[in-house]
Chain A
Amino acid sequence: MNRFVWIALFILGLLVPLVVYPVFMMKLLCFALFAFAFDLLLGYTGLLSFGHAAFFGSASYVTGHLVKNSGLTPELGVLAGTLFAGVLGYVVGSLAIRRQGIYFAMVTLALAQIVYFVALKAPFTGGEDGLQGIPRGVLFGLIDLNRVYSVGGHPLALNLYYFVFAVFCLGFWIIHRTIHSPFGQVLKAIRENEPRAISLGYKVDRFKLMAFVISAAMAGMAGATKSLVFQLASLTDVSWHTSGEVVLMTLLGGVGTVFGPLVGAFTVVTLQSELSSVGSWITVIIGSIFMVCVLVFRRGMVGELARLLKRPL
């Protein structure tokens, strides 16, 4: 990918809150990071996790709890949530990676349901209500994330937005580096032909586990950041709906593409906010759109576009 494209996108990311409602953008960035983390497994390693909300959601609880009750600064809160998700990823990954295909998906789903159960019953998660009123705090003890700027008469939470944007860029960069490292090449080899990767001398279980941990940690980083944006960690974040949503975003956008998860997250988050008035029909509508996309665009939106333009996107 051309350096100018990256720079242009970065500048776009800096300017976009002046035009687009920042809360929408922050939600999009959190879910896009979540989808990129998920795609590291599905698109680049060939592993379908059906329990990724466990990492997204548990990190949002951990961060929320530490920031709210232990007075951690936001950057340390997000770091703690990320590390927690990574450790949880190690546990879940160790149990799941020996299974193949659908059995792998089932193990991740089952373990995620245990995490959901813990979130429902544990004393510090707020049960059905979740953790509410999580303070956004003061970044590095210097920058107040609650600060609102008035731009052209509109109040914009720019400090918070740029914090979220920085976290997103960091997460995206980590995932991007992983994919393009020698390690990432081996992940692709595993996706393509696991027995042959083994015969070349790669201990594939170790690679899969490391990919799983990185993916879980990045999903956690997304969830941790989300808890600061919405000042809320809730059961929805750890539910299988959220696990399904990230699968949906990634497939819609295009598995194993550079921008697919972002486009998929954009589509789903936009639909959710545009259609929020129609209530529970939203599930049916998104489901139908998903069906159409899967049938018409087998490679996802970005995947199909890349094929038309004959270049990786």
Chain B
Amino acid sequence: MTFALETQQLTIRFGGHVAVDAVSCAFAPGTLTAIVGPNGAGKTTYFNLISGQLKATTGRVFLHGEDISGCSAPQRSRRGIGRAFQLTNLFPNLTVLENIRLAVQSRAGVGLNLWSVWSHHRELIGRAEEVLETVALTAKRDLAAAALPHGDQRKLEVAILMALEPDVFMFDEPTAGMSVDEVPVILDLIRALKARRDKTILLVEHKMDVVRELADRIIVLHNGALVADGEPAEVIASPIVQEAYLGIEVAK
């Protein structure tokens, strides 16, 4: 079997600090892997190395068995690695719909089209509206992204990723800072995505009940290194998680 995504000895150093330390891990197509670990463990940085936001000091990244270590961030995105950011990362003065349209447009490959008028691309706008519907933001489509409350910004962040329709979805704490009644919208989306079984999902999430329910597998990062990997029940029960991660979870 070719893995959807694989990292080999992926490492990045910031000065003397090793933020991601020789992480080798392969992700089977159609699976959902939760990545857990305390704050500062290197989860976000690991995502940055996979999506190409950061260049690895050493190590390689493979997508569907192909070495993409030399590819730039936009190339990786076009090849099918998509991500939502932990810190909301929107186009603040564009409307909600425009934010999503930009992802739809990239997906459709009409970015360099200079000759047509945007509003005539009905099919792209229709697709953007569809995505908007799934995160229950239709009523706010014409508001500037910056004017949305935090929870809606998080939804928009996820919606942009959904609109991009990559092969590999990376969610970085998608529900962080959301109110309790907003969380299910996001989790339902991820659940539905997982049910399709044609997309590979990486999910950084702190809420253990969520992880236990959604994940096919859990990997644990600690000080940049991969310290545990396995079935959810097994990993959650392991001493290293109890100590390195759940200790913090309980303290919170």
Contacts and interface: CB of A to CB of B under 8 A. Distances in A.
A198 B90 contact: no
Interface in B70-123: 72-75, 77-78, 83, 85, 89-94, 98, 101-103, 105-107, 110-119, 121
B91 to A, nearest CB: 4
B190 interface: no
Contacts of B116: 181-182
B90 A181 contact: no
B77 A200 contact: yes
B53 interface: yes
B108 to A, nearest CB: 9
B94 A199 contact: no
A207 B112 CA distance: 8
Contact of B117 (A177, A186, A198, A200): A177
B111 A199 contact: no
B111 A182 contact: yes
A183 B117 contact: no
B89 A201 contact: no
B51 interface: yes
Given A198-B74, A201-B74, A201-B77, A182 B89 contact: no
Contacts of B112: 182-183, 206-207, 210
A199 B73 contact: yes
Contact of A192 (B83, B91, B115, B117): B91
A186 B104 CA distance: 12
A254 interface: no
Contacts of A207: 111-112
B164 interface: yes
Interface string B61-76: 0000000000011110
A199 B53 contact: yes
B115 A181 contact: yes
Given A196-B91, A198-B74, A199-B77, A186 B102 contact: yes
Contact of A202 (B94, B98, B101, B106): B106
Interface in A214-229: none
Contacts of B74: 198-204
Interface residues of B, number: 36
B160 interface: yes
B102 A181 contact: no
B114 A193 contact: no
B91 A181 contact: no
A312 to B, nearest CB: 12
Contact of A186 (B77, B90, B111, B119): B111
Given A180-B119, A201-B78, A203-B74, A186 B89 contact: no
Nearest to A200: B106
Nearest to A256: B93
Contacts of B110: 182
Interface string A148-179: 00000000000000000000000000000110
Nearest to B114: A183
A182 B73 contact: no
A188 B91 CA distance: 9
B167 to A, nearest CB: 13
A3 B221 CA distance: 59
A283 interface: no
Considering residues A181, A186, A197, which has the most beta carbons from chain B within 10 angstroms of its beta carbon?
A: A181
Contacts of B78: 201
B117 A180 contact: yes
Best-surrounded residue of A182, A188, A193 (most CB of chain B within 10 A): A182
A236 interface: no
When A and B form their complex, which 6 residue pairs have the shortest distance between CB atoms, in order from nearest?
Answer: A201-B77, A192-B91, A183-B114, A182-B113, A201-B78, A201-B106
Interface of A: 177-178, 180-186, 188-189, 192-193, 195-204, 206-207, 210
8 contacts: A177-B115, A181-B115, A182-B111, A185-B101, A186-B105, A189-B102, A196-B89, A202-B106
